[in-house]
Structure 1
C-alpha cells in the first residue's frame, strides 16, 4: 500500500473518529440534561429526545445478564471492531463504497462498547414514533451501525450483481464479435 492509499484510509478513520465524538458528545448531553430534566420533543409526536439506559444489545435484548452480559457483549464488540479494521485495511483504496460503511460500523461499535465498559450500559436517547408505532430508543452509534451495515448489504446484493452482469455482457459482446 502506498502513502497516498494510507493517507486516504486515514481520512476515513478521521470520519469514524468524528462520528465517535458526535456519539459520545450527544450521549454526554443526554446524560447531563435529559436524565434530570426529562424528555424534549424535537418534532412533536414524531421524534423526541428521551434518556434511556440499555444494558443489552439492540432493542434491549440480553439486558438481564448483569456483569456477565456486559463483559461478554464487550468481548463480542472488540472482536467485531477487530474484524471491521481487518476488512478496512484489506479493502482497496479505490473501493469507497466499502470503506465508508466500514468506517461507520467501526465508529458505532466503538461508541457503544465505550459506554458499556465505562458505564455498564449504553445510553440511548433518540425516540421515534409515528402514531401507535414506536421504534426502540437508539443513539448516534446505533444509527452509524445501521447505516454502515445497510450500505454494505446494498453493495453486496445490488452493486456487485450489477458489476457481474456488466462483465457478462462485455464477455458476450466480445464472443459475438
Structure 2
C-alpha cells in the first residue's frame, strides 16, 4: 500500500483515466466513422479516422512492418522506465514531475495497446488551416505532448522548490 500512498504511483488513477479515455475515443471513431472519413467540428478542426503504422508524424510508416514491434518495444521500455521512476519519487515533493510522468506513461500505454492489438495507432484529431494541415493525432499523443512540456518545465525549476 505504501507504493500507492507515498510514491508517484499516487497518480495511478490519472494514468488509468487517460488510457480509458484514449481507448474509448479510438473505439468510438472505429465504430462511428468509416476509415478515411471525417466530421468537421470547427473551421480548423475535424474528427477523422486514420491509421498510423509509424511513429510521430508517420515516421517509418512505410518501413515494411518491422516498425510495429520496434515501436511497441520502445513504448514498453519507456513505460517500464517511467513506472520505476514514479515508484521512486514522492508526490508531495514533486507533483509537477509526477503529473508529467503520469501523462507520458498513459499516452505511451494507450498507443502501445493499439500497436500490439492492431499493428497501427488509431488517430482521429485533425487540426488544419486552409492548405496547411497538422498530422492527425489522438488523445494518447496529446497527453504525451502535455507531459513532455511539463517535464521540460519541471527541469527548469529551481532546486529549492522541491524542499518547500
RMSD: 2.1
- Residue correspondence of structure 1 range 97-116 to structure 2 within 5 A: 97-116=96-115
Distance in 2 separating the partners of 1:37 and 1:86: 39
The TM-score, its normalising length taken from structure 1, stands at 0.83
- Residue correspondence of structure 1 range 67-82 to structure 2 within 5 A: 67-82=65-80
**Secondary structure in structure 2 of the residue aligned to 1:69:** helix
Distance in 1 separating the partners of 2:83 and 2:10: 14
* 1:132 matched residue in structure 2: 131
Relative to total residues, which structure has the larger helix share, 1 or 2? Answer: 1
Report the count of equivalent residues: 160
Task: Return the offset for 1:130.
Answer: 2.4
* 1:172 matched residue in structure 2: none
Contact 2:36–2:49 (CA under 8 A) maintained in structure 1: no
Greater Cα offset, 12-21 or 129-138: 129-138
- Residue correspondence of structure 1 range 6-155 to structure 2 within 5 A: 6-7=4-5, 9-35=8-34, 38-43=37-42, 45-94=43-92, 95-155=94-154
Structure 1 pair 36/64, CA: closer, same or farther in 2 (3 Å)?
closer
Task: Return the offset for 1:143.
Answer: 0.1
Task: Return the offset for 1:41.
Answer: 1.2
* Deviations 1:10-68 (CA, angstroms, capped at 9, x unpaired): 4411111010000000000111112259211111x211001110000000001122331
Runs of 4+ in 1 over 3 A off after TM superposition: 8-11
Which structure's CA Rg is the greater one?
A: 1
Greater Cα offset, 8-17 or 137-146: 8-17
* Deviations 1:77-114 (CA, angstroms, capped at 9, x unpaired): 10000111111111122211111111111110000010
The TM-score, its normalising length taken from structure 2, stands at 0.89
